[in-house]
Structure 1
Amino acid sequence: MNAKLLLLAATSLLLGACSVTVSPGTTRATVAPAGVLISSFTPDRGTGSTYYVGENVSFRFSANRPGYLTLVSLDPDGFSNVLVSNAYVSAGTTVFPTRAQGVNFTVQPPRGMQRVRAIFTTTQQSSNVVLSGRYDSRGWENVTTVYVNPYPVNARDVRETYFYIR
């Protein structure tokens, strides 16, 4: 199963999906202790929900502290896209894309399961690690780990969510 999203703005970016088996509910990456900073990260209709091609999707992100957020996707061909980079967020809930960004995340084919990862740090992210590129699931996990390693464990958190495109 494959999926792509089209990020519509002044320029277009692609958000892809991955055909990976995950258990129902939010899947958490193993690069930080669970629940340290991110209290939730879901598509607006909930984790595991369905969107149809042409519909918009947004993401609800909640943090226990203010900090900086990067949102990354991985498509079925292993191509990773950065959707939001180093965006400051207050403690509490923020919906992406924000009105200030003036963009929409519009669902486009191919259809299937879409994965999106939130990377959160309490200080501005200054990593030189490139998150965009081609990766298998293990490589994507590794690049995320390398990306957050410069930050103390209590100052970083990673969470992943998914939804289906029909």
Structure 2
Amino acid sequence: MRFLGFSLVVLLLVGCAPQPGIGEKERREWGLQPIISGFAPDRGEGGKYKLRERVFFSFTLSQPGYVTLVTMDSDGTTVVLERNVQLPAGRHTFPLATDRNAQGQAAYLVVPPLGPSRFRLLYTDVPATNRELFRGKLSNDEFNRHTQAYLSAATVRDVAETWMEAVQ
């Protein structure tokens, strides 16, 4: 089930300092394969957005599977924006064009606090079943452990990371 559903908006928590993307060490340890490419907000990685502006995230999958979008703010609060969305190979944008509400296309809106925010896109070849992950406040190490646990049941898995910045 997806967090976004058909609600008017999903509020993004912003305000964490961008961290380096998933490094080669993590790629080896986590058994990642190059499935996700081009993951970025619509203004590019590090793009600046004013409060209440809409944000869309684009990415390409080299094969079909399930994706989950998670954000983490500066105090470590994590929010799952999309969970286990089954998608075909190809180019995609979140929220999906099929995510509608009474006013039309659903959107993510930038909300306080100001500053950089980090986003992680997780790919698995099977739906992930552990819904207890990515809840509450996490350290960077805990965020990585949750990511590893989320990916653990999948034979084929990948992770991509990006960031954006909320400004006035």
With normalisation by structure 1, the TM-score equals 0.82
| 2:156 pairs with 1:162 | no
Give 2:115's match in structure 1, choosing from 112, 117, 133.
112
- Partner residue in 1 for 2:57: 59
Residue identity over aligned pairs, in percent, reads 30
- Identify if the C-alpha distance between structure 1 residues 80 and 67 changes in structure 2 by more than 3 Å, giving closer, same or farther: same
Q: 1:122 to 1:73 in 2, by over 3 A?
A: same
Distance in 1 between the 2:132 and 2:150 partners? 6
Question: Could you tell me which amino acid in structure 2 is paired with residue 91 of structure 1?
Answer: A
Cα distance in 2 between the residues matched to 1:10 and 1:60:
20
128, 134, 138: which one pairs with 1:135? 138
Contact 2:9 2:108 in 1 (8 A): no
Q: Deviations over 1:22-77 (max 9, x none)?
A: 45xxx226254565211221101110111111210000021100110000011112
What 5-or-longer segments of structure 2 have no aligned partner?
101-105
1:60-99 C-alpha deviation (Å, 9 max, x unpaired): 0211001100000111121110100100111111100012
CA distance in 2, matches of 1:79, 1:142: 15
CA distance in 2, matches of 1:79, 1:11: 22
Alignment coverage as a number of residue pairs: 155
Distance 1:95 1:106 in 2: 15
RMSD of equivalent CA atoms: 2.2
Q: Go from structure 1 to structure 2 and tell me whether the alpha carbon gap of 1:94 and 1:21 turns closer, same or farther (over 3 Å shift).
A: closer
Cα separation, partners in 2 of 1:85 and 1:11, compared to 1, 3 Å: same
> Hey, what's the Cα distance between the residues in 1 that align with 2:45 and 2:110?
16
- TM-aligned CA distance change 1:18 to 1:35, over 3 Å: farther
Q: Structure 2 counterpart of 1:156, which letter?
A: R
The alpha-carbon distance between structure 1 residues 13 and 95, as it changes in their structure 2 partners (threshold 3 A), is: closer
- Letter matched to residue 55 of structure 2: V
Q: Which residue of 2 aligns with 1:123?
A: 126
Q: Which moved more, 1:86-95 or 1:35-44?
A: 35-44
- The alignment partner of 1:140 has SS state of helix
Q: 2:98 is paired with a residue of what secondary structure?
A: helix
Any stretches of 5+ residues in structure 1 without a counterpart? 1-6
- Secondary structure at the counterpart of residue 116 of structure 2: strand
Bigger Cα displacement from structure 2, 32-41 vs 117-126: 32-41
Alignment match, 1:28: 22
Deviations 1:94-125 (A, max 9, x none): 10001222221011111100111100012222
